[in-house]
Amino acid sequence: MKPKVPVLVLLLVVTVLVLSSCGLIATLFSEEEDVGKPTVLQGMHFERITNARNANEVFPRLIDNDNLIYTSADRTGHTKVEKMNLKNLSITTVRDNAAGASPIPGEDKYVFTLHRNDGAYLCEGSFSSHAYSYLLMTGFSTETTMQPSVSPDSSKVAFHFGSSGVMAQIGVMERGNPFYSVICEGTSPTWSKDGKYIYADRELQNGNYEIIRIDTTTGIVSTILSSSEKNYAFPQISPDGLWISVEYNWDSIAICDLMGDKFTVVIEGLRSIWSSHWGTDGFIYFASGEPHTDDRDIYRIKPILPY
Dump pLDDT digits (tens) for 42-94: 999 999 999 887 889 999 999 999 999 999 999 888 999 999 999 999 999 99
- Judged against a pLDDT cut of 60, whether residue 21 lies above it is answered with no
Contact 242, 258 (CB under 8 A): yes
Exposed (0-12), middle (13-18) or buried (19+): which is 138, by Cβ within 10 Å? middle
User: Lowest-confidence range among 117-126, 194-203, 286-295?
Assistant: 286-295
Give the separation between CA 75 and CA 163, rounded to whole angstroms. 21
**Domain segments of the chain as ranges:** 35-303
- Judged against a pLDDT cut of 70, whether residue 251 lies above it is answered with yes
pLDDT of residue 268: 96
224 Cβ partners below 8 Å, 6+ apart? 199, 210, 211, 212, 213, 235, 244, 256, 258, 259, 260
Contact 184, 167 (CB under 8 A): no
Q: Which pTM was predicted? A: 0.86
Return the CATH fold of 35-303. Neuraminidase (2.120.10)
Give the separation between CA 147 and CA 137, rounded to whole angstroms. 17
The pairing of beta strand 209-215 with beta strand 221-225: antiparallel
Chain Cα centroid distance, residue 275? 3
Contact 59, 50 (CB under 8 A): no
Q: What is the mean pLDDT of the chain?
A: 87
